[in-house]
């Protein structure tokens, strides 16, 4: 595999060659006239082509070209033909930006030449934003593309559902603690069941759960919980300090 880059491709492509290439690829006359009209209306200091909005299929994109065959010999022949075609069209391969890579589980040497210059052989190469490695693995590309959900929430300014539920539970806890005697929710919160406990692990009460939640999020111990939550303004200010 060889990643070839052209020197000043967009500034040096002769317009006549461009129309001929479009005809060879089966582009119809009216479409060529449209492209000709689009380019001719632009004004530039040097002759070239407009770029940034034209994508070419296969492994050819703008001035980035990938040649790939199954052997080093065939790759060199393909590179020679490509270099000759470029020279005939008035452009040259940039040896400083072109590299070689062999896709193989084993390390294989591949010495490619352009104008008697040896192209460097790489273990990894980023092509059109995708990272390719010589051994064919995509783990690094997957890890690089993976974004933590917290980063997405922060960028969008959206509070995660779990944090919103926890915040509402602690807000409700403050209401329960401050409820006057006789209010049913407050009485249930303070109640302790009597009688014989069934065998096995004791069931977790909501009070125990929310006490651990407050300790984790606010650092308030269960012994101080009711005292702090009993102060409405203090409790509200503490909840506002929680991260979004």
pLDDT 10s digits, 24-81:
888 878 888 887 777 766 555 555 655 555 433 337 777 778 787 778 888 888 888 8
Provide the pLDDT for residue 175.
92
Range from 3-12, 22-31, 101-110, 222-231 carrying the lowest mean pLDDT: 3-12
Span 130-153, average pLDDT: 70
Encode the chain in three state secondary structure. CEEEEECCHHHHCCHHHHHHHHHHCCCCHHHHHHHHHHHHCCCCCCCCCCCCCCCCCCCEECCEEEECCCCHHHHHHHHHHHHHHHHHHCCCECCCCCEECCCCCCCCCCCCEECCEECCECCEEEECCEEEECCCCCHHHHHHHCCCHHHHHHHHCCCCHHHHHHHHHHHHHHHHHHCCCCCHHHHHHHCCCCCCCCCCCCCCCHHHHHHHHHHHHHCCCHHHHHHHHCCHHHHHHHHHCCCC
Rounded mean pLDDT of 110-121? 82
pLDDT tens digits, one per residue of 202-227: 777 888 888 999 998 888 888 888 88
């Amino acid at each position: 595999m060889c990643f070839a880059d052209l020197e000043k491709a967009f500034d040096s492509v002769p317009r006549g060659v461009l129309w001929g290439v479009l005809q060879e690829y089966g582009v119809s006359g009216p479409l060529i006239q449209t492209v000709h009209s689009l380019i001719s209306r632009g004004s530039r200091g040097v002759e070239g082509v407009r770029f940034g909005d034209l994508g070419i299929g296969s492994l050819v994109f703008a001035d980035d070209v990938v040649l790939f065959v199954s052997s080093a010999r065939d790759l060199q022949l393909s590179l020679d033909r490509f270099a000759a075609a470029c020279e005939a069209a008035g452009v040259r391969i940039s040896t400083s930006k072109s590299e070689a890579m062999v896709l193989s589980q084993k390390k294989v040497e591949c010495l490619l030449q352009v104008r008697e210059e040896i192209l460097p052989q790489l273990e990894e190469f980023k092509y059109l934003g995708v990272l390719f490695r010589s051994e064919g693995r995509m783990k690094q590309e997957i890890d690089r593309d993976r974004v933590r959900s917290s980063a997405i929430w922060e960028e969008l300014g959206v509070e995660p559902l779990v944090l919103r539920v926890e915040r509402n539970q602690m807000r409700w806890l403050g209401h329960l603690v401050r409820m006057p005697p006789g209010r049913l929710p407050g009485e249930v919160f303070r109640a302790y069941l009597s009688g014989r406990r069934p065998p096995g692990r004791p069931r977790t009460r909501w009070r125990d759960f929310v006490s651990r939640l407050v300790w984790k999020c606010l650092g308030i111990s269960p012994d101080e919980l009711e005292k702090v939550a009993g102060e409405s303004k203090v409790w509200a200010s503490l909840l506002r300090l929680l991260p979004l």
